Structure 1
Amino acid sequence: MTNSYQMFPSVVIAVEQLTPLIKRFTFKRQDGEKFPAFTGGSHIIVKMNDQFSNAYSLMSNAADLSTYQVCVRKDEEGRGGSIFMHDHCLENFKLEISSPKNLFELAQTGEKHILIAGGIGITPFLPQMDELAARGVNYELHYAFRSPEHAALLDELQQGVHAEHVHTYVDSTGTYLDLNALISSQPKDTHVYVCGPKPMIDAVIDTCKRHRYRDENIHWEQFASSSLENAESFTVVLAKSNQRIEVMADQTILQAIESLNIDVECLCREGVCGTCETAIVQGEAEHFDQYLSDEEKASQQSMMICVSRAKGKEITLDL
């Protein structure tokens, strides 16, 4: 798989505070040209400076390429990119925007499409609903959030063209999404998509499998990696220099390598852009990325060193 991105010098032309923690950013290209075409579920890399670059789902209208839009949730426990976006990316701030890639595409077949969003996970579903409506197929959005003040885009969803397809669930009012009832009641060959917190994604996948959904009918996206949960330390051997590096339990391979002033390209640091893909010389990886296909992961030919780890105590990489 190619991991090349084209980068476009861009500028922030609008910033909107949607919730206490979520802002919507609108970008245009500095050269005045249109951005590349994209499909619902696509993400871009926003490169704020040499230190911060994050992947965000495109939420803008795919028919209007004069601008791109993303929503960013401020994460005080994150790597710093979302905080920088909130605190420094004001109108007229200049940055770089990548060409889009789609790892969360809509299936081209299926009698029905069920979209399940949690919190900020709503963003990729905006252009996807436009696509589904244009196809004339049956679709529903099920949107769960903590309280109304934390529901990004709620008013737009309830008053927009997709309103009759939107179902909401609010923790603070005691209305909860019953995944078992929802998933078990769908017609044969329904496709289910989920984006949101990891526990929600895991619950949706588990429920679909219990009701014998085929793997190809279950789709999910999650940028935040869980690779450091219950992680253990291991050793990485760099084959080109025969250098041995200890990767601590709270480190990624990329962080351990960078601590020795070894430069490795990585745009997203979330396992979605593919730019840090590295060949495996010896050993096996425990894959946490969303970029490689299941077949590529099983082949153990390469890994994304920003999130994936060694399956054993040692792994040798072509670095």
Structure 2
Amino acid sequence: MILDAPLTARVAGIDPLSPTLKRVRFVPERGRFPTAAPGAHILVTLRGPERIWKNAYSLVTPPEQRDSYAIIVRRVEASRGGSHFLHDHLKPGDPVEIGPPTSLFPIASLARRHILIGGGIGLTPFLSYLPVLRARGAAFELHQYCTDDESEVFAGLLAEAGGMAMIHGRTNRRSVAGILADQPLGTHVYTCGPERLMAAVEAAAFAAGWPSGAIHKESFGSAEGGAPFTVTLARSGRTVPVSESQSLLEALETAGVEAPCLCRGGACGVCLTRVIDGAIEHRDHVLTEEERAGGRLIATCVSRARSDALVLDL
């Protein structure tokens, strides 16, 4: 179930893990947080002096932990500012608004074996998987791909997984094809990380004859900027500019438009909006090729205009 009411919280602690990674812990202002499913994420609202960011982050705390939530965030140089604000300005004691936990990346209940493949910060949803898989006595293994200089950081985060977790640095890594070959029937694979890694996992699984239902991936999309454009809202006649550093969804929110969203990464389909006119640059993971060719739906959180303007059914 998707809950709309935001949760009021404050920053309880910030732990530097590496030059670009920080773990941030939140505590509720009142009571306790809702129980989160394995692989759940929260939407964090960051309020800067001149703009607001709403970013989705995977919870890294165990699902049953309700006195606090934690996320791990990488400071990305090419970010639109959210990760910079969190790393450079957020401090313990600051109030923060977060959305209730939502899971679009659950553990397959009927799987006989689980293969978890993470890349860089894509490890985060699996940190909430691990206590659940261990408690169930499930057969699993985790493969984390990262740079050599971050191997020690990720090894520390995976210490409790013991021999079930393998770290693959750049100079010592096993191919995903080798990992997925000769796995027993009923095995499911889960992947989260850079698009290239997830595409390689999916391609290797299909090449090895895996059924599509046994392949799961979590993507927070690519809400990168692009050429500026304008959006006309057909129902009100308003025109909203979208800058080169904004997503379409962010521009709508800045203009005070009630725009639906959930994952903010083009993975859930909640933000799909009907396009009346204009050409779309699709960047989502939910529309079919036929729907994309039709040019009548846009994922406002990640996709942009290929034309100078769009007209939306809003």
TM-score of the alignment, normalized to the shorter chain, above 0.5: yes
TM-score by length of 1: 0.82
Q: Partner residue of 1:195?
A: 192
After TM superposition, give the deviation of residue 58 of structure 1 in Å: 0.5
Are 2:97 and 1:102 equivalent residues in the alignment? no
The code of the aligned residue for 2:164 comes to H
After TM superposition, give the deviation of residue 264 of structure 1 in Å: 4.6
The code of the aligned residue for 2:257 comes to D
TM-score by length of 2: 0.83
Contact residue 3 and residue 100 of structure 2 kept, 8 A: no
Q: Partner residue of 1:78?
A: 79
- Any gaps of 5 or more consecutive residues in structure 2? none
After TM superposition, give the deviation of residue 16 of structure 1 in Å: 0.7
Are 2:8 and 1:13 equivalent residues in the alignment? no
Q: Partner residue of 1:141?
A: 142
CA distance in 1, matches of 2:91, 2:127: 24
The code of the aligned residue for 1:20 comes to P
Secondary structure of the structure 1 residue equivalent to 2:163: helix
Q: Please say which of residues 66-75 and 296-305 is displaced more in the overlay.
A: 296-305
Q: 1:120-199 maps to which residues of 2 (within 5 A)?
A: 120-149=121-150, 151-158=152-159, 160=160, 162-171=161-170, 174-199=171-196
Deviation per residue, 1:148-205 (Å, 9 max, x gap)? 44654422423x2x2121111111xx20121111111211231111111111111111
Are 2:306 and 1:305 equivalent residues in the alignment? no
Q: 1:265-284 maps to which residues of 2 (within 5 A)?
A: 265=259, 269-271=264-266, 276-281=271-276
- Which of 34, 37, 53 is the matching residue for 1:36? 34
The code of the aligned residue for 1:34 comes to R
CA distance in 2, matches of 1:241, 1:65: 42
CA distance in 1, matches of 2:199, 2:26: 33
How many residues in Structure 1 have an aligned counterpart in Structure 2?
309
Contact residue 269 and residue 299 of structure 2 kept, 8 A: yes
After TM superposition, give the deviation of residue 90 of structure 1 in Å: 1.4
Deviation per residue, 1:90-145 (Å, 9 max, x gap)? 11111111101111111111221100011111111011122222222210000111
What RMSD in Å do the two structures reach over aligned CA positions?
3.4
In structure 2, the CA distance between the partners of 1:276 and 1:169, relative to structure 1 (3 Å rule), is: same
- Which of 200, 206, 216 is the matching residue for 1:219? 216
Contact residue 80 and residue 245 of structure 2 kept, 8 A: no
Are 2:48 and 1:54 equivalent residues in the alignment? no
In structure 2, the CA distance between the partners of 1:149 and 1:312, relative to structure 1 (3 Å rule), is: closer
Secondary structure of the structure 2 residue equivalent to 1:200: helix
Contact residue 221 and residue 284 of structure 2 kept, 8 A: no
CA distance in 2, matches of 1:89, 1:98: 18
